[in-house]
Structure 1
Amino acid sequence: MSVIQVSNLTFAYEGSYDNIFEDVSFQIDTDWKLGFTGRNGRGKTTFLNLLLGKYEYSGKISANVQFEYFPFQVENKDNNTLDIISDIFPDYVHWELMRELSLLKVSEDVLYRPFESLSNGEQTKVMLAALFLKENRFLLIDEPTNHLDMNAREIVSEYLNTKSGFILVSHDRSFLDHCVDHILSINKTNIEIQQGNFSDWWENKQRQDEYELAENEKLKKDIHRLSDAAKRTSSWSHEVEKTKNGTRNSGSKVDKGYVGHKAAKMMKRSKSIEQRQQSAIDEKSRLLQNVESSENLKLTQLAYHKSRLAELDHVSIYYGDKMVCQDVSFPIDQGERIALSGKNGSGKSSIIRLICGEDLSYTGTFRIGSQLKISYVSQDTSHLQGNLTDFARSSGIDESLFKSILRKLDFARVQFEKDISTFSGGQKKKVLIAKSLCEQAHLYIWDEPLNFIDVISRMQIEELLLEYSPTILFVEHDKEFCHHVATKTVEL
C-alpha cells in the first residue's frame, strides 16, 4: 500500500476566472476501492486529468504509482481486439487475460473480431480486463456504466468488487454500493473522503445537512433575539446617561456617579450581547456551505381524449434483411410509466423510433392516437452547440422557464453565457431534459436520459415523475431509478 497525496491543489482552465479547485488537500490509499461523486460540472473528470498530468496546476500531487485511465483511447478500431489489448499492455500473459475475461463473462472469440464490431459492453469489459492486468497501477475509471445494460452493469460491478486500487466515477447508486469501500465527494466548497459505500455516504450527508439546517434556523432566531436585546439595552443606557445632567422628579440633585455606573453597566451588557450576536453570525456563516439544493421540478402534461395512447401488437422491426426485435406487444395507457428493458441490441431504440414516427420497416400492428404530441429525449447529445438562448428559441420553448429548470438542476448563471458544446456530458443531458419539461405533451419518451447525470439530479427527476405521474416510456439502466419510477416493465 502507498499513498496519493494531494496538497494545496488549485486549478482553473486557461481564460477562466473561476477556480475549479482551490487550496484542496487530502490523501488516498492506493488499495482503496474509491467511488468518486459530485454534481455535474464540479470537476470529477478534470481531477482525473490532473492526476494524469494533462494540465498545469499549483500545489502538489505526489504518488508512487502510475495512473491508467478508462476509457482507453483506441485509435484503430478496425484492428482485432487482441491487437488492441497488445497496444494497451504489450507484456500481457494470455492465460491471465483469459482469467479476467472469464470473470467478466466475455467469450474468447471476441479477441479475434474487429474491436469496432464489439458491443459497448464488450468493449468496456475488454478494456477493464487489459488495464487490470498491469501491476502497480492505479486505475482512473470514468463512468464505465454509460450505455451498459442492467445485466452488464451487474457483471462489471461484481468484477470491480474483486479488485482494489481505483477511483470509480459513476452516478449509479446500486453500482457504487456494490463495489466501493470509500467515497470521494466534490462538494460546493471542499473535497472530502468518507469510509463506506455510496448509501453510507448519502445517509451521513443527509444527517449532516439536516443538522446544519436545524442549527441555522436556531442561530437565525438567536441572532434576531440578541439583536433586539442589544438595541433595547443600548437605548436604556443612553436614556440613563441623559439623566446625569438632569434632576430627579422630586427636585433633588442626581447622583451622577451612580447614574454613570449604571449606564456603563448597561453599555457593557450591550457590548456582551453584540459579541454573542457576532459569534452566532460567525457560526451561522460556517453552516450550509455544502448543503445541496434540489428544488422540486414541475411538468405540465396534456390530457388526451382516450385512455390508450398507442399499442404494439406482435411488432417485429427490420433494417434491411436484419430483424432487430421480434414479436413485441404492449399498450401505452395514460398515467403509465413504462420501463423498456433488455440487453443492448435488443431493439429498444428501434421501438422508440417507431413510436416517434420514423419510417421503419416492420411487421405486425402498430396503432397510435391521432394528433398525439410526443416529447422526446435522445441518447445523443453530440448535436448540441450554440448558446442556451438560441437553443430555446429554435426549440420553440419558453426561455425563462427553460433556464429556471436548469437552475434547479444545479446550473450556475455563468453557465448560461457559455457554448453548450463546452458543457460536461451530464450538463448536456440536463439541457435535453429541461427542454422536454418545457414541452406540453401527451406522451414523454426518454431514451437513456440519465447517462452522465449526477445522483442528486437523478433523485430530483425521480421525485418529479412520481409527483406528476406523466405518461412516459423510458429506457434506463439505473436499477434504483427503474425500481422507484416504473409502473410497468416491458422486457425485450
Structure 2
Amino acid sequence: MLRLEANQVERRIGDRLLFRIAGVLRLYEGERVGLVGVNGAGKSTLLSVLAGLEEPDGGTVARHGSVAVVRQLDEAGERAGTGPSEESLAGGETEAPEGEPSRPAEYATMSGGERTRWKWRQAMRKRAALLFADEPTSHLDTEGAAEVEEELRTYEGTVLLISHDRMLLDRVCTRILELEDGEVREYSGNFSEYRRQKELRRERALFEYEQYDKERKRLERAAVEKAESAKGMKREKTGKTNTEARLGKDQFNRRKSKVEKTAQAIRKRIEQLEVKEKPKSQEQPVFDIRYHKPIHAKEAIRLERVTRSFGARMLFRPFSCGITPGMRLGIVGPNGSGKTTLLQTIVRGEAGVWTSAASQIGYFDQRLEGLDEERTVLGQVAESSDYPETSIRTALARLLMKRDDVFKPVSVLSGGEKVKAALAKLFMADCNVLLLDEPTNYLDIFARAKLAEVLREYPGTILFCSHDRFFLDEVATHLLVIENGEWTFEIGGYSEYRERKKKRHCLEMPPEGDAEAEKEKLAELVPAVEYRERLTPAEREAETMRLELELTGLLGRLAAPGKHESKPELEAAYNECLGRLKQLKQR
C-alpha cells in the first residue's frame, strides 16, 4: 500500500537549492527508510517537508494515513518555547489520540536523554501509519538506543528516519535515501549495503574517468602532431616550369589542407567526448611514531581501588584494572553512571591512579574548552604540534575538514566542525595516551566512520566514552563496563560483550528439569578456548601480562587485606583471574 508520494519536490534557501527530488519518491507500507547525508545537507528540512511540518518551494507531497513525528532534540529552542509542535502537521490524520498528555511540568528540567525518551513514547502511542523520526536515539545510552532499535524494527507502519547510529541503520532499514549536493538518491538494503553500492559506483566512476582521460590525452597528442605536421610542410624547390610549379603548389595546398582538417576533426572529437568527473580521492592520515613517544612499561595507566561518591551516594564501588600500551578501551554504561567522572579522575591523577612516566595524556572534553574561538583551525592545531603543515592538513581532511575550512576561526564553526578541530589538535600533539569523552557528539555518520578509521591507526593508547554501538565495535579492543556501580573489564567490542552477557544470563538462570544436564548444555555455549581464540597473539601476550600482574596484586592483598576489603571477595577475584589466565595459556 502506498503511504507517501513526493513529486518533483524542492526546497531553497534564498537563491541556493537545498535539495530536489527528481521524479517521484514513493514510500510503501512496512518500509523502514533511512535518510543519510553530511551535517548541513538538509536532511531535517527534507523530513519536515515530507512530514508536512514545512511547505516545499516546488512540487507536491501526498501522505496516506495518520502521521507521527519525533523531532530532533533542540534544547535551546524548546526552553524558549519556539520549537515547532509535533502535532502541527498538514495532510493525513494528524491529531494526537484523545487523552494524550501534554508535556509534564518537569519537562524543562529533564536531561537530553529523558526528553528523547518522552518524545519517543508519545509518538509510539499514536501507532501512526507513517512515522517520521529525526535522531530518535539522540542523548540515549546504549541500552536506550537498543530499545528504540527494537521498536523500530518491529514497527507495523512505515518509517522514515534520520540517524547517525550506524548499527541502528544496519539493523532497521530496508532502504536508504542519500541527500548529497542537493540530490536525493535511492539505495536498496541497509546502510552497509548502501556503502557497498556507493563504493561500486565510485569504482565505476573512477574507471570511466581514467578511460575518458586516457582517450582525451591520446586525441590531444594526435591533434598537436597533425597541427605541427601542417606547419612544417614545405614545397619542394625544383627547376620546374611555371605550369609544373603551379600544379605542385596545388597538390601541396591540398595535402596541407587535408592535414589541417584531420587536426580539426580530432579537436571536434575531443569536444564531443562525454566529460567524466574524477571521483573524490581517499585521503590517508599521516601518523609518524617519531611524534608520539612510545611507552615501554607494562601498563600505561593503572587504576587501584578507585571509587567515587557524591555525598551519601556512591557513584561506583572500588575497582582495579590495568591499561596496557596500545589498548583502545571503550567505557560503557548508562547516563550518569560515572564514565566522565572516571576520565576526569585519571586526568587529574587522583588517588588510586598511576600513570607510566612516559605517558603524555591528551583529554577531549565535551565542552571543547581547549579551543581558542578567535584563532583559525590550522593555526591552533599547528601551534601544539611538531608535525609539518602537510600532515596536519591531511589529518584535518581525513576528518572531513578540507580546503578553506582550515582557515576559518573557531567562532564561526558548527558544533561538528569544532569537534573535528579539537580532535585533530589532540591527534597531532605529542600525546601518546588519549582520553576522549563522547568524541562522536555533533558528528554525522560519515564523520564518525572517518574518526573510527583514524583512531584505529593512532600509534598510542586510547580511553573513550561513547554511546555509539557501531563506533565501539569499530574502535575498541577492550571495554570497561559499569552497571549498578560495578565495573567489569571485557575483551573485544560492544557486540561481543552483548553476546557474552546473554550467555552469562543463560548460565545464571535456574535450569529446568535435569539441572546437571542443563548446565552442561549451556556450558557448551562458552567453551574455554573461545576466550583465548578471540584475541590476536599480541593481545594474548598483553592480556596474559595484565592478568599475571593482577594476580600478584591480589596475592599481596590476600596476605594483608585492607580495612575495607573482604577476604572472600578477594579470593573470588583471585580465582576468576587465575581461571582466565589458565584459559589464555591452554594449547
Q: Map of 1:90-239 to 2, 5 A cutoff?
A: 91-92=96-97, 114-115=106-107, 120-134=112-126, 138-163=130-155, 164-188=157-181, 190-239=183-232
Deviations 1:384-429 (A, max 9, x none): 7834428955995369576664344223545457664654442232
SS in 1 for 2:314: strand
Alignment check: 8 A CA contact 1:296 1:460 kept? no
CA distance in 2, matches of 1:332, 1:307: 9
Distance change >3 Å, CA 27–CA 178, structure 1 → 2: farther
Distance change >3 Å, CA 470–CA 6, structure 1 → 2: farther
| From 439, 444, 455, the counterpart of 2:445 | 455
1:272 equivalent in structure 2: 265
1:472 equivalent in structure 2: 462
Alignment check: 8 A CA contact 2:295 2:358 kept? no
Alignment check: 8 A CA contact 2:50 2:61 kept? no
Alignment check: 8 A CA contact 1:443 1:472 kept? yes
The size of the alignment, in residue pairs, is: 457
Query: What is the one-letter code of the residue matched to 1:25?
Result: A
1:370 Cα offset (Å)? 5.0
Distance change >3 Å, CA 378–CA 473, structure 1 → 2: same
Distance change >3 Å, CA 387–CA 22, structure 1 → 2: farther
SS in 2 for 1:325: strand
CA distance in 2, matches of 1:267, 1:86: 72
1:426 equivalent in structure 2: 416
Distance change >3 Å, CA 156–CA 52, structure 1 → 2: closer
SS in 1 for 2:63: coil
Alignment check: 8 A CA contact 2:51 2:132 kept? no
Counterpart check, 1:28 vs 2:25: yes
Name the stretch that deviates more: 312-321 or 50-59. 50-59
Alignment check: 8 A CA contact 1:36 1:167 kept? yes
TM-score by length of 2: 0.66
1:115 Cα offset (Å)? 4.7
1:54 Cα offset (Å)? 7.8
1:40 equivalent in structure 2: 39
1:334 Cα offset (Å)? 1.4
Counterpart check, 1:9 vs 2:10: yes
Q: Map of 1:368-447 to 2, 5 A cutoff?
A: 368-370=355-357, 372-380=359-367, 386-389=373-376, 393=380, 397=384, 405-411=395-401, 413=403, 415=405, 420=410, 423-447=413-437
Counterpart check, 1:344 vs 2:335: yes
| From 294, 302, 320, the counterpart of 1:303 | 294
Alignment check: 8 A CA contact 2:17 2:182 kept? no
Alignment check: 8 A CA contact 2:177 2:184 kept? yes
Alignment check: 8 A CA contact 2:293 2:358 kept? no
Deviations 1:212-257 (A, max 9, x none): 11222222222222111111122223444x43xx446999645344
SS in 2 for 1:25: coil
1:36 Cα offset (Å)? 1.5
Distance change >3 Å, CA 490–CA 22, structure 1 → 2: closer
Distance change >3 Å, CA 44–CA 432, structure 1 → 2: farther
In structure 2, runs of 5+ residues without a counterpart are 80-84, 483-587
Alignment check: 8 A CA contact 1:425 1:452 kept? yes
| From 319, 322, 329, the counterpart of 1:331 | 322
SS in 2 for 1:353: helix
1:488 Cα offset (Å)? 1.7
Distance change >3 Å, CA 481–CA 5, structure 1 → 2: same
Alignment check: 8 A CA contact 2:382 2:392 kept? no
Distance change >3 Å, CA 345–CA 217, structure 1 → 2: same
Distance change >3 Å, CA 409–CA 55, structure 1 → 2: farther
SS in 1 for 2:22: strand
Deviations 1:352-376 (A, max 9, x none): 11011176xx7xx332345843211
Q: Percent identity?
A: 25
2:479 equivalent in structure 1: 489
Distance change >3 Å, CA 152–CA 292, structure 1 → 2: farther
Query: What is the one-letter code of the residue matched to 2:464?
Result: F
Distance change >3 Å, CA 328–CA 25, structure 1 → 2: farther
SS in 2 for 1:339: strand
TM-score by length of 1: 0.78
SS in 1 for 2:146: helix
CA distance in 1, matches of 2:353, 2:198: 48
RMSD over equivalenced CA pairs, Å:
4.1
Deviations 1:153-198 (A, max 9, x none): 2221111122343332222222101111221212246331222211
Alignment check: 8 A CA contact 2:223 2:266 kept? yes
1:107 equivalent in structure 2: none
CA distance in 1, matches of 2:58, 2:370: 37
1:152 Cα offset (Å)? 2.3
CA distance in 2, matches of 1:144, 1:136: 16
Distance change >3 Å, CA 226–CA 326, structure 1 → 2: same
Query: What is the one-letter code of the residue matched to 2:460?
Result: P
Query: What is the one-letter code of the residue matched to 1:386?
Result: E
Higher relative contact order (CA 8 A, sep 6+): 1
SS in 1 for 2:200: helix
Distance change >3 Å, CA 388–CA 60, structure 1 → 2: farther
CA distance in 2, matches of 1:220, 1:86: 54
1:127 Cα offset (Å)? 1.4
SS in 2 for 1:255: helix
Alignment check: 8 A CA contact 2:398 2:450 kept? no
1:342 Cα offset (Å)? 2.4
SS in 1 for 2:126: coil
Name the stretch that deviates more: 421-430 or 442-451. 421-430
Deviations 1:5-62 (A, max 9, x none): 263625236xxx8x36265535433444221212233332344455578888743453
In structure 1, runs of 5+ residues without a counterpart are 78-83, 98-110
| From 254, 257, 263, the counterpart of 2:256 | 263
CA distance in 1, matches of 2:161, 2:13: 23
Name the stretch that deviates more: 270-279 or 224-233. 270-279
Distance change >3 Å, CA 191–CA 358, structure 1 → 2: farther
Alignment check: 8 A CA contact 1:51 1:67 kept? no
